[in-house]
Structure 1
Amino acid sequence: MNNSEGFENPVIILTGNRLYDQVLRCYKKPAELILADNPQALALILRDSLGAMLLVDLALFNDDVTHPLVAKILKKGFEQRIVVMTDEQDPAKLYPLMELGVRGFCHSSINDELLMKAIQAVNHGELWIGRQFISYLICRLMLDKARKNADSDIRLSGTPLTPREEQIATHVAQGKCDKVIARDLNISPHTVKNHLSNIFKKLQVTDRFQLALIYHGIINN
C-alpha cells in the first residue's frame, strides 16, 4: 500500500530501524518522516515540531508501559497525535497511556496496510483501539466519574441534541448496546440506530466511544 498523498502533519517515529522501514515501505514522502532513535533526540525534535504525529515503539523499553521514560516522552508530546506500538494487550495497563494523550495502539505484528490506516486515522483526529479496549474504557470512565462524584457534570448541555437524543446518548455512555437501550426506552432497535446516526452527525463524532468521551468530559465537542 502506498500513500501518495501524505499525511496532514509530519510523522515523528521513536523506534529502531524496523518500524521506520515498515512505514517507509508504504510511504512515498520520506522527507515528512522524522526518525528519533532515542528519547533525548526525540525531545529536541518535539521542541520544533508542534502538531506532528508521534509514533512510539515501546519495544525500545521492552514493552514496559510503566517505564518512567515512557510517561516523560508522552508528556512532552502531549500536543502531538500519538500512536503507540506495543505487544501489551491489557487495557488496564494501556489506559494510563491514553490519559497521557495516546490515541492509537498497534501490535508489533500489524501489517503495512493496517499500520498506515492507524496513522491516517489518528492523524485525522480519530481513535485506533480494539473493541476490548473500548469496553474497558467505557467502564473505566463510568468508575472514574463515580469516584469524582461528577454525575451532574454531563457535557451535553449546549449541544443541539433533542431530549430523546440526550437520553440515548446517556445510555450509550453507560456502555449499553442498541437492544438494551431499545428495551429500556420501550422503542425499537431501529429507532435507536436512527437517533444514534443523528447524534453522531450533530456532535461530529464517528462512533459510540467518541460519544462516551464527550459525555464524560474527556474530550470537548
Structure 2
Amino acid sequence: MSIRVVVADDQELVRSGFTMILEAQPDIEVVAEAGDGAEAVAAVCRHTPDVLLLDIRMPVMDGLEAARRVCARSSCKVVMLTTFDLDEYVYDALYAGASGFLLKDVRRDDLVHAVRVVAGGDSLLAPTITRRLVADIVRRRREEAATGATPDRLDALTAREVEILRMLARGLSNAEIATTLFVSEHTVKTHVSNVLSKLGLRDRVQAVICAYETGLVAPGAPL
C-alpha cells in the first residue's frame, strides 16, 4: 500500500522537485500539490493523505496556520519545510502538531526516509538540530510562563512508561529502547502508544516536548 503525500510549497520548482523525487519511489504516491496554505488544507481534506510536506512561509495562509488546521482535523502527519535551520516558526509548528521539519536543501535520500518514517508513526527527532529546537521551545515557553504544564501530568503513567518517555526525549528509536530495556520492539511500541494515549498527545514529538515541560528531562541536559 502506497504512502499518500501532499506537497505544499509556493515555489513551483521546489514543489515539482520534491514531487519528482517522491514519485520515483515504488511505495510513495503524491496525490496533490498546493501553492499556499489554504490549498494545502483543502488538499488534505479532499485526498486524506498520510503525510503533508508543508512550507512554513506561504501566501494566503501560512504554513503554521495550515498545520494547526490539518493536525486538528485529521490524522495526517505534517512535516514542515523551511529554508532556515532556526526558523522561529518551527517552534509553534511543533506545538501545532507537526511531526518534525526538513530543510529545503534536504538530500534526496533523507527526504524519502523522512516521509517513510513519519508515515510509519515515528518522528524526526534524530537530528541534533531538532533536539535543540525542542529544548529551545521549552526554555522559551517557560520564560513566558505560557504553558501551565506541571509534573502532575505524569502521574497517570507507570514507572516503565515514565522510563520510556525519558528515553524518547533523549532521541532513542524504538529499536534502541528495546535493546536498552531488553524487551521486544513490539513491547516498546505498546508502551509508547500508552504514553501518548494517557497524556493526550498526538505523536512522539509532543511526547518529547511534554518530557521537557514537566521537568522529566532538563533543557540542555545530555541526550
Report TM bin, short chain: 0.5 to 0.7
Structure 2 residue aligned with 1:24? 20
Deviation at 1:155, TM superposition (A): 5.6
Give the secondary-structure state (helix, strand or coil) at the position aligned to 2:6.
strand
Deviation at 1:71, TM superposition (A): 2.7
Quick one: structure 1 residues 92 and 139, their matched pair in 2 at CA, closer, same or farther if it must change by over 3 Å? Answer: same
Deviation at 1:170, TM superposition (A): 7.2
Letter in 1 for 2:153: D
Deviation at 1:11, TM superposition (A): 0.8
Alignment partner of 1:48 out of 46, 62, 86: 46
Give, in whole Å, the separation in 1 of the partners of 2:44 and 2:205.
29
Give the secondary-structure state (helix, strand or coil) at the position aligned to 1:154.
helix
Deviations 1:80-127 (A, max 9, x none): 211111122127541111111211211111111110101111111111
Alignment partner of 1:134 out of 131, 134, 137: 131
Question: Matched residue pairs, number?
Answer: 185
Structure 1 residue aligned with 2:112? 116
Give the secondary-structure state (helix, strand or coil) at the position aligned to 2:124.
coil
Give, in whole Å, the separation in 2 of the partners of 1:174 and 1:81.
19
Deviations 1:147-186 (A, max 9, x none): 52512220652x4x45xx74x45765886x9xxxxxxxxx
- Are residues 1:39 and 2:42 paired? no
Give, in whole Å, the separation in 2 of the partners of 1:174 and 1:53.
23
Letter in 2 for 1:95: Y
The percent identity for this pair of structures is 11
Give, in whole Å, the separation in 1 of the partners of 2:47 and 2:109.
26
- Are residues 1:195 and 2:181 paired? yes
Give, in whole Å, the separation in 2 of the partners of 1:155 and 1:50.
35
Quick one: structure 1 residues 214 and 46, their matched pair in 2 at CA, closer, same or farther if it must change by over 3 Å? Answer: same
Give, in whole Å, the separation in 1 of the partners of 2:57 and 2:86.
16
Structure 1 residue runs of 5 or longer lacking an equivalent are 62-66, 178-192
Give, in whole Å, the separation in 1 of the partners of 2:99 and 2:208.
15
Quick one: structure 1 residues 17 and 217, their matched pair in 2 at CA, closer, same or farther if it must change by over 3 Å? Answer: same
Answer whether contact 1:156 1:215 (CA < 8 A) is retained: no
Structure 2 residue runs of 5 or longer lacking an equivalent are 173-178, 194-203, 215-223
Give the secondary-structure state (helix, strand or coil) at the position aligned to 1:152.
helix
- Are residues 1:152 and 2:152 paired? yes
Give, in whole Å, the separation in 2 of the partners of 1:53 and 1:150.
32
Deviation at 1:68, TM superposition (A): 6.0
Give, in whole Å, the separation in 1 of the partners of 2:208 and 2:139.
9
Alignment partner of 1:88 out of 84, 91, 100: 84
Report which of the two structures shows the higher radius of gyration computed on alpha carbons.
1
- Are residues 1:69 and 2:62 paired? yes
Deviation at 1:204, TM superposition (A): 3.7
Answer whether contact 1:138 1:212 (CA < 8 A) is retained: no
- How much is the aligned-residue C-alpha RMSD, in angstroms? 4.1
Give the secondary-structure state (helix, strand or coil) at the position aligned to 1:89.
coil
Structure 2 residue aligned with 1:11? 5
